[in-house]
């Protein structure tokens, strides 16, 4: 895939799979050409950014793990107390919000992978044909991806508002007694906010798949058409299998997205009953009424473990490819 795209735009070749680019090894003798100053420069170039990144991202991630086994009120280091698994015990057995939050995060992922992802793939396949107004359509579907989740939350509030919103005004549910509370009702609000999330996710997936489809060899399609395969058969047997690298990335992006989702719900209803999420629980232990550092960290650790289950296999496969190249 990378070989045929390199000739066009260089950046297109870095499209998934990352690391597919040929990595030629520089001969070791090379290093003899480096002066002492060069080595110092190189050392600084590598260490300065690494120190910043490690200090703010990895040290804090490890600190989350450590703090999860303690209680701390945040005033002075002396008040840190080791409590073992206490926080986790309380979390798993005594927090009415925890299991709903886990469930909502899972629903979030399942919903995104079942609806907007195939829809984005469908749009990408259609728009990849040489079709008129393709760019206009693409712009419309992609527009939500550019906007912040916070703005999306506000825009959808205007749609869902029980009194003044678009939906209730149209179906006449904005009069007392007929209220449908899309934002507050715990049976409805998760689905309402998922519509907004899917609205954005579709365009994102469309763009990823469009990039993937550009890498599909056109002669494959021609050969399939010559063999008399229909459009659906060609897609199912020829195109979709070649999109495997894109599918991996789509899967990873969707899982990470489902674990990270915060802004949209926070703006929409503050994570009220029905829309609790792990990210919201962590945050409410910092900026909420109670600052329970150890307890919040225990939730963060759960989030970290779930993410690592996804991140590690993905990175291992990506970088193994790189090493082989």
Partner 1 sequence: MSTTTAATPVALKKRTPVRPARVVLHVVLASMALAWLAPLLWAVYAALRPYAETSEKGYVSLPDTLNLDNFINAFTQSDMTHYFMNTLVIAVPAVLLTLFLSSMVAFYVSRFDFRVNLFLLLVFTAGNLLPQQVIITPLYRMYLLIDLPGITMSGKLYDSALGLVLIHVAFQSGFCAFVLSNYMKMLPHELTEAALVDGASVWRLYWQITLPLCRPAMAALATLLSIWIYNDFFWALVLISTGENMPITSALNNLSGQYFTDPNLVAAGALLTAIPTLIVYFLLQRQFVSGLTLGANKG
Q: Which of residues 290-309 bind partner 1 (CB under 8 A)?
A: 293, 296-297, 300-301, 303-304, 307
Binding to partner 1 by residue 130, rule CB under 8 A?
no
> At 70, is the secondary structure helix, strand, or coil?
strand
Binding to partner 1 by residue 288, rule CB under 8 A?
no
Query: CA-based diameter of the chain, in Å?
Result: 82
Query: Of the candidates 106, 110, 114, 143, which one interacts with partner 1 according to CB under 8 A?
Result: 143
Binding to partner 1 by residue 102, rule CB under 8 A?
no
Choose the stretch contacting partner 1; rule: CB under 8 A; options: 85-93, 110-118, 181-189, 198-206.
198-206
Binding to partner 1 by residue 121, rule CB under 8 A?
no
Query: Of the candidates 71, 242, 257, 272, which one interacts with partner 1 according to CB under 8 A?
Result: 257
Q: Take residue 248 and report the two structure tokens written for it.
A: 């991996």
> At 1, is the secondary structure helix, strand, or coil?
coil
Binding to partner 1 by residue 156, rule CB under 8 A?
yes
Choose the stretch contacting partner 1; rule: CB under 8 A; options: 93-101, 176-184, 201-209, 232-240.
201-209
Site for partner 1 in 1-60 (CB under 8 A): 6, 9-16, 18-19, 21-26, 28, 30-31, 33-35, 37-38, 41-42, 45-46, 48-50, 52-60
Q: Is 205 exposed, middle or buried (0-12, 13-18, 19+ CB in 10 A)?
A: buried
Binding to partner 1 by residue 106, rule CB under 8 A?
no
Choose the stretch contacting partner 1; rule: CB under 8 A; options: 95-103, 110-118, 178-186, 206-214.
206-214
Contacts of 114 (CB under 8 A, 6+ apart): none
Binding to partner 1 by residue 67, rule CB under 8 A?
yes
Binding to partner 1 by residue 150, rule CB under 8 A?
yes
Contacts of 124 (CB under 8 A, 6+ apart): 205, 206, 207, 208, 209, 210, 212, 213
In angstroms, give the least distance from the CB of 237 to partner 1. Answer: 20
Buried b (16+ CB within 10 A) or exposed e, 123-140: bbbebbeeeeeeeeebee
Describe the crossing of helices 116-128 and 189-214 by its angle, rounded to 10 degrees: 30
Query: Of the candidates 4, 73, 79, 148, which one interacts with partner 1 according to CB under 8 A?
Result: 148
Q: What Å distances lie between residue 106 and 100, 222, 291, CA to CA?
A: 10, 41, 27
Binding to partner 1 by residue 81, rule CB under 8 A?
no
Binding to partner 1 by residue 225, rule CB under 8 A?
no
Nearer to partner 1, 116 or 274 (CB): 116
Query: Of the candidates 90, 263, 272, 321, which one interacts with partner 1 according to CB under 8 A?
Result: 263
Binding to partner 1 by residue 269, rule CB under 8 A?
no
Contacts of 249 (CB under 8 A, 6+ apart): 16, 17, 208
Binding to partner 1 by residue 154, rule CB under 8 A?
yes
Binding to partner 1 by residue 271, rule CB under 8 A?
no
The stretches of the chain forming alpha helices (DSSP H) are 2-5, 36-53, 59-67, 86-94, 98-114, 116-128, 134-146, 149-160, 166-171, 189-214, 218-226, 231-234, 240-242, 244-260, 263-269, 278-287, 293-324
């Amino acid at each position: 895939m990378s070989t045929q795209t390199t000739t066009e735009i260089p950046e297109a070749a870095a499209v998934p799979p990352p690391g597919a680019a040929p990595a030629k090894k520089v001969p070791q003798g090379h290093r003899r050409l480096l002066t002492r100053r060069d080595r110092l420069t190189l050392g600084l170039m590598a260490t300065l950014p690494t120190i910043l990144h490690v200090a703010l991202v990895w040290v804090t991630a490890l600190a989350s793990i450590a703090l999860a086994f303690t209680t701390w009120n945040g005033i002075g280091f002396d008040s840190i107390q080791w409590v073992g698994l206490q926080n986790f015990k309380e979390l798993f057995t005594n927090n009415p919000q925890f299991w709903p939050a886990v469930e909502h995060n899972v629903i979030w992922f399942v919903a995104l992978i079942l609806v907007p992802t195939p829809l984005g793939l469908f749009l990408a396949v259609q728009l990849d044909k040489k079709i008129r107004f393709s760019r206009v359509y693409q712009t419309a579907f992609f527009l939500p991806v550019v906007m912040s989740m916070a703005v999306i939350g506000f825009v959808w509030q205007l749609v869902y508002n029980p009194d003044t919103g678009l939906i209730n005004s149209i179906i006449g549910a904005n009069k007392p007694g007929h209220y449908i509370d899309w934002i507050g009702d715990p049976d409805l609000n998760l689905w309402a906010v998922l519509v907004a999330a899917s609205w954005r996710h579709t365009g994102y997936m469309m763009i990823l798949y469009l990039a993937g489809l550009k890498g599909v060899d056109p002669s494959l399609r021609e050969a399939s058409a010559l063999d008399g395969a229909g459009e659906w058969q060609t897609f199912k047997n020829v195109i979709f299998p070649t999109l495997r690298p894109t599918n991996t990335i789509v899967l990873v992006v969707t899982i990470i997205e489902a674990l990270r989702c915060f802004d949209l719900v926070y703006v929409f209803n503050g994570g009220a009953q029905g829309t609790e999420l792990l990210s919201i629980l962590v945050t409410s232990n910092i900026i909420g009424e109670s600052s329970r550092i150890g307890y919040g960290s225990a939730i963060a650790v759960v989030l970290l473990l779930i993410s690592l289950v996804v991140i590690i296999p993905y990175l291992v496969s990506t970088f193994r490819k790189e090493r082989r190249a």
